[in-house]
Amino acid sequence: MGIGHVLFDADGVLQELPGGWRERVRPYLGDRAEEFLELTWREEWPCLEGAVDYLPMLARHLELFGVAVPAERFFYDVWCDVRVDEHSVALVGALRAQGLGVHLATNQEMHRTAHMRDVLGYDRLFERSFYSWQVGHAKPSPRFFEVVLEEIRATGENVLFIDDSLDNVVSARAVGLHAVHWSLELGHDHLRTLLAGFGL
């Protein structure tokens, strides 16, 4: 059985934060930017799985670091200031034109999800979108991939997953999906070569 579905991760594959995370928070945090991000990333997991609202947690962290900026403003100035890569978007369209099911499979909390859907237009770009907070499990949990397979009614051997996190790729493979480790910095020629290896 050949590939019938392709799953795309978002950050690092479809979109990127101009300048990177550290440079985006540095104007607010100065030399504590790294410390702030490490704390935020360490405690975001329940938000990514839909159990906790991200903005109140972010507000607590900002207060802890003495940043007198409303959490919602900070969130949209940083977390939502993403650049969608036109070459990745074109590739998604080309794969859909081949008759493949092309879907988004990403770890996101509810507020950034709304931005990606309403502002970035990912609901129109993809056939299906799987955001971790709605799935109830975040990558690299095997359950994330199992839920996606159930939803698209496919077996792992029929699905190719693309992600910039090696841990996520390894987990997808363990569930039975085909998976490739790729990020925007590697270039789209490299990704096209990887896809060609699967007959795409």
Residues forming CATH 3.40.50.1000 domain(s) in the chain: 5-16+82-196
- Pair 149, 175: CB distance under 8 Å: yes
Burial category of 32 from C-beta neighbours within 10 Å (exposed 0-12, middle 13-18, buried 19 and up): middle
Tens-place pLDDT, residues 132-141: 999 999 999 9
Mean pLDDT of 179-188: 97
Indicate the pLDDT class of residue 1, thresholds 50, 70 and 90: low
Indicate the pLDDT class of residue 144, thresholds 50, 70 and 90: very high
- Taking the C-alpha atoms of residue 44 and residue 130, their distance in angstroms, rounded to an integer, is 18
**CATH architecture of the domain formed by 5-16+82-196:** 3-Layer(aba) Sandwich (3.40)
- Taking the C-alpha atoms of residue 171 and residue 175, their distance in angstroms, rounded to an integer, is 6
Tens-place pLDDT, residues 91-128: 999 999 999 999 999 999 999 999 999 999 999 999 99
Tens-place pLDDT, residues 12-68: 999 999 989 999 999 999 999 999 999 999 999 999 999 999 999 999 999 999 999
To the question of pTM greater than 0.75 for the whole model, the response is yes
Q: Tokens 């300048």 identify what position?
A: 19
Q: Which of 14, 184, 44 is nearest to 116 (CA)?
A: 14
* Through-space distance between the first and last CA atoms of the chain, rounded to whole angstroms: 13
- Pair 46, 30: CB distance under 8 Å: no
Burial letters for 74-86: b for 16+ Cβ neighbours within 10 Å, e otherwise?
Answer: bbeebbeebebbe
pLDDT value of residue 118: 93
Indicate the pLDDT class of residue 197, thresholds 50, 70 and 90: very high
